[in-house]
């Protein structure tokens, strides 16, 4: 079966106001802003940035792009090449996204929150895809590039579309919401993240609430356990959103958690919604997954999909690489259990990661070990927020901390000597300590903000197993 046409040349030209050059009859089955991940059949949009996409147009066409949207003709590109000339490629991308949204017949749900956006988005994709054709943001495509690209990629056949919307500066969410025009929105929680760029957590709440700016009525799904729930309800009224569904343990939550039993491979959950119990399993480990599963089910119902089918689909949800994915690494004498949380970090998500680590039993002679990098963009309270992790870390029964970064030094110093492992200025300097510090039976979590570069530590730990195989 041939792939569904996403954009014809004429449709793309009409949407962007562009001028066709070369073959005017191409049909794109996808859209891309990155030549490295481009697939044959994609329409390539050459954006300006740290790397100018115009420098990669020839490579994109060689890889099978059917055409490229450009605002200047790149060198080495002949007059016969399929180009769509526009005045500004960023504006063209946004126009393509608006046109994609305008023609779509899908029901749209937008997801934001201080933590858990991408995992909740992926869980929604997972449960909705089991019921009808569903399109969703790739990876963490949640900014001024990712949202319009996601909208431009929604196929005509999609019945549901899941859009992730993020921010790290005030004023970013509202225009993205107005592009997405969601029927349903989810705010996973409000907490202390990106405080360097926001004056207060209340400012963060107001920014997250702007996800409702593009809604015309619709249904908002909020965390009923979060202290900012009343504030979000107030802001919902200002945006004209009168239908709010709460989720969580709170007795007034419409999607209420009654009970859950968590383990290393997932959780068994009993929730109550609209007078009936939902019994289901979540395939990813951690209390945060349990809570966000409630948001997924509330949003599923708001979209008109089958809640009970969605609940059963959650059994096969899995944590993603960098966001809780788990694996065994073979070492002399047994295996090490690795939990990869390397993609990002905040005080909220650190506590959630500690709880997951606490729920995994070490093997014989093993320990629970946290390898942590700096949490970034926390503003003037950053040092205290790092030091404040000492109590939850100890309460979780973690036996050893290896850390890196100037901010994590505050946590290192706040711990008793028996829990202090190596501390280094940056992640690369921590890698030489791993072989001597880790052993079979250990359970190890690696976590830090993206800028702390913790992924190489994950790769180095996996590499310890590879070294064993080569011996």
* CB burial of residue 144 (10 Å; 0-12, 13-18, 19+): middle
Q: Which domains does the chain have, with CATH numbers?
A: 7-87 (3.40.1390.10), 104-316 (3.40.1190.10), 325-470 (3.90.190.20)
Strands 7-8 and 27-28: antiparallel
Do 419 and 401 form a contact (C-beta atoms < 8 A)? yes
Task: Report pTM.
Answer: 0.92
Q: pLDDT band at residue 2, thresholds of 50, 70 and 90?
A: low
Q: How many CA atoms lie within 13 A of 235 on its CB side?
A: 22
Determine the average pLDDT of the residues in 359-375.
96
Percent of the chain with pLDDT over 70: 98
Residue pLDDT, tens place only, 268-303: 999 999 999 999 999 999 999 999 999 999 999 999
Q: Which two tokens stand for residue 121?
A: 């988005």
Q: What is the pLDDT of residue 470?
A: 41
Q: How far apart are CA 41 and CA 7, in angstroms?
A: 10
Q: What is the pLDDT of residue 469?
A: 44
Q: How far apart are CA 430 and CA 451, in angstroms?
A: 15
**pLDDT at 193 exceeding the cut of 90:** no
All residues at 6 or more sequence positions from 30 whose CB lies less than 8 Å from its CB, including other chains: 3, 6, 39, 41, 42, 43, 153
Q: pLDDT band at residue 468, thresholds of 50, 70 and 90?
A: low
Q: How far apart are CA 290 and CA 276, in angstroms?
A: 18
Strands (E), 302-432: 325-331, 334-341, 368-372, 400-404, 420-424
Q: How far apart are CA 109 and CA 163, in angstroms?
A: 6
Residue pLDDT, tens place only, 330-356: 999 999 999 999 999 999 999 999 999
Determine the average pLDDT of the residues in 133-154.
95
Determine the average pLDDT of the residues in 371-398.
96
User: CA torsion angle for 108, 111, 112, 118 (degrees, to 10)?
Assistant: -140
How confident is the prediction for the chain on average, in pLDDT? 95
| Least confidently predicted of 2-11, 225-234, 412-421 | 2-11
Q: What is the pLDDT of residue 75?
A: 85
| Least confidently predicted of 103-112, 147-156, 262-271 | 262-271
Q: How far apart are CA 212 and CA 137, in angstroms?
A: 18
**pLDDT at 76 exceeding the cut of 90:** no
Transcribe 349-369 into DSSP letters. HHHHHHHHHHTS---TT--EE
Q: Within 10 Å of residue 327's Cβ, how many Cβ atoms?
A: 15
Q: pLDDT band at residue 439, thresholds of 50, 70 and 90?
A: very high
Q: Within 10 Å of residue 470's Cβ, how many Cβ atoms?
A: 5
Q: What is the pLDDT of residue 471?
A: 37
| Least confidently predicted of 84-98, 132-146, 188-202, 308-322 | 188-202
Q: How far apart are CA 350 and CA 411, in angstroms?
A: 12
Q: Which two tokens stand for residue 105?
A: 């017949």
Q: What is the pLDDT of residue 194?
A: 77
Do 74 and 87 form a contact (C-beta atoms < 8 A)? no
Q: What is the pLDDT of residue 18?
A: 97
User: CA torsion angle for 225, 226, 230, 235 (degrees, to 10)?
Assistant: -130
Q: What is the pLDDT of residue 466?
A: 67
């Amino acid at each position: 079966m041939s792939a569904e046409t996403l954009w014809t040349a004429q449709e793309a030209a009409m949407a962007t106001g562009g001028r066709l050059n070369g073959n005017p009859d191409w049909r794109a089955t996808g859209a891309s802003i990155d030549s490295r991940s481009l697939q044959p059949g994609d329409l390539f949009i050459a954006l300006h940035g740290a790397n100018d996409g115009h420098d990669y147009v020839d490579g994109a066409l060689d890889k099978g792009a059917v055409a490229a949207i450009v605002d200047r003709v790149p060198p080495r590109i002949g007059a016969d090449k399929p180009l769509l000339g526009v005045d500004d490629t960023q504006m063209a991308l946004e126009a393509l996204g608006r046109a994609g949204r305008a023609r779509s017949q899908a029901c749209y749900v937008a997801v934001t929150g201080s933590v858990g956006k991408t995992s909740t988005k992926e869980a929604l994709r997972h449960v909705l895809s089991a019921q009808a054709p569903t399109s969703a943001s790739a990876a963490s495509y949640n900014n001024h590039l990712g949202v319009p690209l996601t909208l431009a990629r929604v196929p005509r056949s999609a019945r549901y579309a899941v859009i992730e919307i993020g921010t790290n500066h005030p004023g970013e969410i509202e225009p993205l919401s107005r592009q997405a025009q969601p029927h349903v929105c989810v705010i996973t929680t409000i907490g202390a993240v990106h405080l360097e760029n926001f004056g207060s957590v209340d400012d963060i709440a107001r920014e997250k609430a702007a996800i409702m700016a593009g809604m015309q009525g619709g249904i908002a799904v909020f965390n009923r356990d979060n202290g900012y729930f009343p504030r979000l309800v107030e802001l919902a009224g200002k945006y004209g959103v009168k239908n709010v569904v709460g989720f969580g343990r709170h007795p007034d939550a419409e999607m209420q958690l009654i009970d859950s039993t968590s383990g290393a491979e997932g959780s068994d959950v009993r929730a109550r919604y609209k007078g009936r119990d939902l019994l289901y399993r979540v395939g990813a480990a951690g209390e945060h997954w349990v809570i966000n599963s409630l948001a997924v089910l509330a949003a599923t119902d708001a979209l008109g999909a089958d809640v009970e089918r969605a609940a059963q689909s959650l059994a096969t949800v899995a944590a993603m690489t960098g966001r809780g994915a788990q694996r065994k690494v073979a070492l002399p004498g047994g295996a090490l259990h690795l939990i990869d949380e390397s993609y990002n970090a905040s005080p909220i998500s650190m506590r959630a990661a500690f709880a997951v680590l606490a729920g995994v039993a070490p093997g014989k002679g093993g320990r629970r070990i946290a390898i942590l990098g700096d949490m970034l963009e926390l503003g003037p309270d950053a040092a205290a927020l790092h030091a404040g992790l000492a109590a939850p870390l100890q309460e979780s029964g973690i036996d050893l901390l290896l850390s890196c970064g100037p901010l994590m030094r505050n946590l290192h110093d706040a711990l008793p000597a028996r829990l202090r492992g190596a501390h280094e200025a940056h992640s690369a300097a921590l890698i030489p300590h791993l072989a001597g510090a880790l052993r079979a039976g250990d359970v190890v979590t690696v976590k830090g903000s993206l800028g702390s570069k913790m992924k190489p530590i994950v790769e180095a730990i996996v590499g310890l197993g590879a070294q064993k195989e080569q011996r």
